[in-house]
A = this chain, B = another copy of it.
Amino acid sequence: MGHPVFDTASVVAALHGVRREWREAQQRSSEPGGREFPSRDALTEVVKSLKGVLFPMRLGPVDLRQESEDFYIGYTLDAALHALAAQIRLELRLYDSSKPAERLQAQAQSLTTEFAQTLPAIRRLLDSDVLAAFHGDPAARSVDEVLLCYPGILAMIYHRLAHQLYSQGLPLLARIWAEMAHSQTGIDIHPGARIGSGCFIDHGTGVVIGETALIGERVRLYQNVTLGAKRFTTDAQGHLEKGQPRHPILEDDVVVYAGATVLGRVTLGQGCTVGGNVWLTQDVPPGAHVTQANARQERAAPASVAQPLAFNL
């Protein structure tokens, strides 16, 4: 008694000092002001609404009835779009805080409108993903089961929405959605990756797909597959060269089995198959079957001498 149990005040002061150092180092203002930054919570709500908008009778509210779907969608979508526009404005402001508020607002609305108009196409793509999973997995009993249970489908819902934002120049919002999917499914798809219709990721835990990956139609991937980059190239000054295509291209109907690693801007030709745990840094011709055995031989060959020792995604 007589003095506080914990010397909270001194910890507060010390934390204050650390924050000040950080802000000075980062050239951040220490001035009064609120958080002007996109909100994970707000985006969680938006994506929850959009899931209901896309699949009202499966991911919408339990008491929804088919005859009032459009009412539900209209209301939910409108509210979600306004909430999304507010987040878009916050991201735009990060890139140019000097822009007048009205300009930011108008730009955010315009981007939101554009986003909204892609939703029907996104639904159509997701339908193709659901069918691909249904046809690709002998254990699947119905398309509804696939939609409700398969982590690969959940990851595609997030990805196709996030990729749209990414394509519109909103990488931060896109990233937040991508990481939500990653946390829930263990599937880590960079929102920049372009993925064709009918994509099926089975099991999924540990899958990593890099920013510039190009994936064709009807591609199937299993758990722990990495579609990564090799070591980053640097320019004459030693700076990383950004934005270069550096992840694999998978043409239509490619299958990559569990644990396989494909690195660099290589092309897996149409219909080829990459076996489990295969380590691959070269092109594969259409229709080929790559296994650990023949992949190892390649690596032993002189051609592979040129392979980089390390890689990165």
Contacts and interface: CB of A to CB of B under 8 A. Distances in A.
Contact of A75 (B18, B71, B82, B141): B71
Interface in A183-217: 183-186, 188, 190, 192, 202-203, 205-206, 208, 211
Nearest to A4: B67
A4 B67 CA distance: 6
Interface of A: 1-12, 14-19, 22, 26, 29-35, 37-41, 53-54, 56-58, 61-79, 81-83, 85, 94, 109, 112-113, 116-117, 119-120, 123-124, 127, 138-139, 141-145, 148-151, 171-172, 175-176, 178-179, 182-186, 188, 190, 192, 202-203, 205-206, 208, 211, 222-224, 226, 228, 232, 240, 242, 255, 257-259, 261, 263, 273, 275-277, 279, 289, 291-293, 299-300, 309-313
A61 B263 CA distance: 41
Interface centre among A8, A127, A224, A293 (most CB of B within 10 A): A8
A151 B183 contact: yes
Nearest to A190: B139
Query: Which 6 A-B residue pairings sit nearest by Cβ, starting from the closest?
Result: A71-B74, A71-B75, A32-B67, A68-B78, A14-B120, A4-B67
B279 A276 contact: yes
A82 B65 contact: yes
A202 B33 CA distance: 32
Given A261-B276, A273-B310, A275-B309, A11 B120 contact: yes
Contacts of A8: 67-68, 71, 74, 77-78, 81, 116
